[in-house]
């Protein structure tokens, strides 16, 4: 059965943005630690839409990769 939302089919796609809580859970840290990361000068993965803070998934992954480059 196909689910319909507002007259359109529901697509099963990887979201390009997620909540702070979902992003924290995805990388295994607390919500508090995620907010600390967002406050850093090198944070380019967080943005606001209205009053809601969201995390760009691809930019978060790139930021993590930059943090771990020196560990190889």
Number of domains in the chain: 1
In a domain, 52, yes or no: yes
Q: What number is the average pLDDT over the span 68-72?
A: 77
Tell me the CATH number at 41: 3.90.105
In a domain, 37, yes or no: yes
In a domain, 2, yes or no: no
pLDDT tens column, 22-59: 999 999 999 999 999 999 999 999 999 999 999 999 99
In a domain, 32, yes or no: yes
What is the DSSP secondary-structure string of 21-71?
A: HHHHHHHT--HHHHHHHHTSTT--SEEEETTEEEEEHHHHHHHHHHHHGGG
58 lies in which domain range?
17-71
- Alpha carbon 4 to chain centroid distance? 26
1 pLDDT exceeds 50?
A: no
In a domain, 6, yes or no: no
Is the whole-model pTM more than 0.75? yes
């Amino acid at each position: 059965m196909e689910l319909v939302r507002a007259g359109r089919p529901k697509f099963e796609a990887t979201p390009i943005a997620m909540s702070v809580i979902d992003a924290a859970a995805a990388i295994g840290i607390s919500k508090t630690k995620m907010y600390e990361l967002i406050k850093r000068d090198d944070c380019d993965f967080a943005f606001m839409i209205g009053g809601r803070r969201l995390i760009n998934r691809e930019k978060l992954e790139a930021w993590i990769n930059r943090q771990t480059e020196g560990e190889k």
